[in-house]
Structure 1
Amino acid sequence: MSNLLIQNLVKQLQDVQDGDLWLDENFIKKIDTLTPEQALTRPIPDIHSVAEIVSHLLEWRRDCIRKLQGQKSTLTIESNENWRSNNELKQIGWKKLKDDFYASQYHLIRLIEIRDDAFLAQECGTYTFQALLEGMIHHDLYHLGQIGISIKLLKVNGLLK
């Protein structure tokens, strides 16, 4: 029972959260020091706030977790929870959002680290679990970059030092 591929996916998930990536960034480095005001501010009207992006990532992780648990996926691109408003997120609170975001990554890892590599070839809707998990990693990295842009724009606008 081999799980080298699983171990590799787990390592990538851990690294993007709080690891020492070659790109010298991870989620904890990017978002941990932001105040609620900074996280919940759109740097310009058409650019998502950091909190909106984190919430978006959290919803897709939760969807992935449901799939790994054998539950039906209900999240779509059009779902209201896909992109929550800053007003909704203020009600949730930045600390809770961050805590839930970090916890979701560890929950996801716990669900896959007990599997073997054969699991990755199993179908999950129209794709395999391997495609699902690799897609989650790609999605995380894409939005880590977007968070970086939002933070730079907050600095340019004097909202962050």
Structure 2
Amino acid sequence: MIDFASELRKAYSGDAWHGNNVSAIISSVKDRQVFKRPIPNAHTIAELVLHLTAWTEEVISRLMDNMAKEPENGDWPEVNEETPASWDVILRDFHIANEKLVNLALMMTGDQWLENVRHIEGPRLTKWELLNGLIQHHAYHGGQIALLLKF
């Protein structure tokens, strides 16, 4: 049986096969880079981290057998303030959400991972497929953040 919590941990803060995990990438961000938009019409690093947090929280909700929906704060939550204190809150919320998800994943049994996520409509996913999608989501947006750091 696959250790699903371990797979999430690798993407979030462990030894990811593709390179740096998303936490390592985010921790290398300098305050002056957080709210910059080096590519017109692209998201800032802060916006990307808010998006990652929103979807991590939604995955937690779905794994707890709540109905699938858009994240509580929206798909792309807005940055409230462009200050170092605001960035600290964004980072804290990202880490809290991911640690909650890892802890939830550790408590789930093999049979629970094979259960379907509750949907009103749309494709049926097992809880494992949902978590695997979030792992891929972390890698994808982590790569975007890494690219923005080069500008």
TM-score clears 0.5? yes
The aligned counterpart of 2:7 is 12
Of the candidates 132, 140, 147, which is equivalent to residue 149 of structure 1?
A: 147
2:107 is the alignment partner of 1:114: yes
Deviation at 1:147, TM superposition (A): 0.8
The aligned counterpart of 1:60 is 55
Matches within 5 A, 1:27-106: 27-75=22-70, 81-86=74-79, 88=80, 90=82, 93-106=86-99
User: Identity percentage over the alignment?
Assistant: 27
Q: Which runs of at least 4 in structure 1 moved beyond 4 Å after TM superposition?
A: none
Q: What is the alpha-carbon distance in structure 1 between the residues aligned to residue 5 and residue 136 of structure 2?
A: 13
Q: Is the 8 A contact 1:36 1:93 kept in 2?
A: no
Structure with greater helix share of residues: 1
Point out where structure 2 has 5 or more consecutive residues left out of the alignment.
Answer: none
The aligned counterpart of 1:136 is 134
Deviations 1:73-123 (A, max 9, x none): 3316xx87211334x253781111111111111101111211221111111
Deviations 1:60-82 (A, max 9, x none): 11111111222233316xx8721
| Higher alpha-carbon deviation: 144-153 or 54-63 | 144-153
Could you state the TM-score of these two structures normalised by the residue count of structure 2? 0.84
Q: What is the alpha-carbon distance in structure 2 between the residues aligned to residue 116 and residue 89 of structure 1?
A: 41
Structure whose alpha-carbon radius of gyration is higher: 1
Point out where structure 1 has 5 or more consecutive residues left out of the alignment.
Answer: 154-161
Q: Is the 8 A contact 1:122 1:128 kept in 2?
A: yes
Q: What is the alpha-carbon distance in structure 1 between the residues aligned to residue 40 and residue 78 of structure 2?
A: 12
Structure 1 22/52 Cα, relative in aligned 2: closer, same or farther at 3 Å?
same
Q: Is the 8 A contact 2:29 2:149 kept in 1?
A: no
Q: What is the alpha-carbon distance in structure 1 between the residues aligned to residue 126 and residue 92 of structure 2?
A: 29
Q: What is the alpha-carbon distance in structure 1 between the residues aligned to residue 95 and residue 103 of structure 2?
A: 13
Deviations 1:5-61 (A, max 9, x none): 2x2x21121112221223331122211142333111111222211111111011011
